Amino acid sequence: MDSAMKRCTQVDWSRYSLEILNLRSQFETPVTMSHEPEENKTSSPSPRDDKITHFNIDEAPIPGKTTVHRVNRNANEPLPKSGDFIPGYDAELMQARATLSSDEEKKLLRKIDWRLLPLLALMYMLKSIDASNLSYARTMDEGTSDNILTELGMTSNQYNLVTAMYYVPYIIAEVPSNLLLKRVRPSVWQARIQISWGIVLCCHAAVVNRQGLYVVRFFLGLFEAGLWPGMLVHLCYWYRPDELAPRVVYVTLLGCFSTVLSGVLAFAFNGVTTGGLSGWKWLILTEGIVTVVLGFCTYFFLPDFPSSAKWLSEREIAFIQARLPKNAPRASEANFNMKELIATLKNLRVWLFLFCWAFFTIGTTGLTFYQPTVIANLGFTSMGTSLLLNIPTAIFAVLLTVGFGIFADTGRIPQPAIPLGFLIVIEACYGVLYAFPNNGGVYAATIISTGFSTAWYTMMWPWRVQTTEGATGSAFAIAFANSYGQIGGAVGSQLFNSRYAPHYSTSFGIAMGFVGLAIIMTIVTWCFTWRVDVDTRRLKRIRIAAAKNNQAILDDVDIHRGEKME
């Protein structure tokens, strides 16, 4: 560290000053910039005659003395053609970041939000409803020949394999699907996903035995793969990592109500036998038709990339692209970059996040999927009663997601601390249930654990995308974590076997062990990413303060800092 400090303090500033003045002379319209420590961020820059206030070009970051470059926003200045005002900074990007005022930037982001987020939220809601439809189908028409288990001649344990048949192709197809997102365009690829999975949902109406159910669930997982990670990568083309938390909250908010909506639909179709179809078939058929319709809406209305958005001006497009960090994916990049893919596979962080996801899903997915069944096994067999008992879970998940989403957006608390806290709560809940099982305790566990599990995903993804890089690297890293992390969907569903009913003490004990492993992996991953998280949150606070003075920040977070624990 001492040698690094000496190198930084021995920089030939006169040489840099001459280079800066020579570069400045190439442009007719100079940019007013300042570069000052965070503790002085509230002070206004003092421009000189040449409009270049102060530079501090460090050869390496100095802990405790990190500085930032600021630029005064001026929407009337034209973009320069080429060159640098500061070594290492592209002049066009620098100038583009200053072309809109702080108020104009807020208006632009709101415009993008309204164009992008409502449609993504509907897509996520339908995906979440689809994930829970078979949970409710199992409890529909209980004790009659129209119940799915009776109609298809299945046992409870055979029904458990339905989840595995869905997740196996889902895991395999997720990464290729995400890599094709940019080549084909998000609007086209996401529409393809929804239309094809909607058609498969409609095919459930033709199922007459358990083998047929296994087949349609296999193709459902195959065609649905890539929707959620594709949405996350798509957001990275439009927003900075520090801006994703509230957007992910918005997109997933409707998904929190998916269990309630699925329950309402199941209640509506319970006992229906119109057209020779039982109620559970009408339930899934209806969801399939709605999904196909939304798929066509996605094709026509979902924006692809900033550069192709006709509802943005050239200045707005330049601004949106310039404000993204260097590691963000861009439409101008190659559709596939093998070097990025190999580099991503070699990155230890990718594997750490993967194990976080895998252990978490094994420990929590089983209870989430079988929540309606668990409640029914407690003696609440009435469809209406079961539906009412599932509503508190959705409300609790919404409160957690919104509350912690707003809190995380302030940049005041480490991003990993929130999902880690959620895991600790789930672990404590499982521990109590394992030691003291009773009907009231099991019901409380379904509310608490399912609510925190739902909110966990919302808080984890903004942390994950902080360290993704490039179009290929980002698509692969996000899909890799989400797909192979879903192995818990295939394994976790087997934990809540009918022989453990009604209190599922053994199930909770095993799940508690996997959640404990998820806690350990989260702590280890935090150790390898803490520098990036600290820099991201610090830069966010600086940007908020600079915006009040109508300034833009030119610096980005170096995602390669702290890749090895020091």
pLDDT, position 451: 86
The tokens for 116 are 């992008």
Ranges 129-133, 269-273, 314-318: which has the least confidence: 129-133
pLDDT category, 239, cuts 50, 70, 90? very high
Q: Which of 303-307, 472-476, 551-555 has the lowest mean pLDDT?
A: 551-555
Rounded CA-CA distance 103/37 in Å is: 25
What pLDDT is recorded for position 159? 84
Residue 527's contacts (CB-CB under 8 Å, 6 or more residues apart) are 565
Q: Does the structure show a pLDDT above 90 at 261? A: no
Question: Which tens digits make up the pLDDT trace of 204-226?
Answer: 999 999 999 999 999 999 999 99
Among the listed ranges 288-302, 307-321, 357-371, 535-549, which one has the minimum average pLDDT value? Answer: 357-371
Please provide residue 115's backbone torsions phi and psi, each rounded to the nearest 5 degrees: -75, -30
Confidence of residue 285 (pLDDT cuts 50, 70, 90): very high
pLDDT tens, position by position, 495-514: 777 777 766 778 888 888 99
Q: If residue 35 lies in a helix (H) or strand (E), which one and from where to where?
A: strand 33-37
Alpha-carbon distance 510 to 362, whole Å? 9
Structure-token pair, residue 385 = 């009663």
Q: How confident is the model at residue 559 (pLDDT cuts 50, 70, 90)?
A: confident
Band of residue 24 on the pLDDT scale cut at 50, 70, 90:
very low
**Quick one: what percent of the chain has pLDDT higher than 70?**
78
Provide the 8-state DSSP code for 241.
G
Q: How confident is the model at residue 14 (pLDDT cuts 50, 70, 90)?
A: very low
Q: Report whether 531 contacts 380 (CB < 8 A).
A: no
Comparing CA positions, the residue from 324, 319, 339 lying closest to residue 465 is: 324
The β-bridge relationship of strands 67-72 and 551-553 is: antiparallel
Distance CA 451, CA 429 (A): 12
Question: Domain spans of the chain?
Answer: 2-101, 103-548
Say which amino acid occupies 10: Q
SS3 553: strand
Contact 390, 372 (CB under 8 A): yes
Strand residues in 53-106 grouped as ranges (E): 67-72
Element of type H or E holding 266: helix 258-269
How would residue 26 be classed by pLDDT, with cut points 50, 70 and 90? Answer: very low
Q: Tell me, what DSSP letter sits at residue 415?
A: T
106 or 496, which is more confident?
Answer: 106
Torsion sign over Cα 304, 217, 125, 175 = negative
Each residue of 324-357: pLDDT tens digit?
A: 888 788 777 767 788 888 988 899 999 999 999 9
Instruction: Give me the pLDDT at residue 334, please.
Output: 63
Confidence band, pLDDT 50/70/90 cuts, at residue 279: very high
Tell which CATH classification among 1.20.1250.20, 3.40.50.300, 3.30.70.1900, 3.40.50.960 matches the domain 103-548.
1.20.1250.20
Please give the model's pTM, rounded to 2 decimal places: 0.80
Say if CB 266 and CB 140 are below 8 A apart. Answer: yes
Q: How far apart are CA 143 and CA 146, in angstroms?
A: 8
Under DSSP, the state recorded for 335 is S
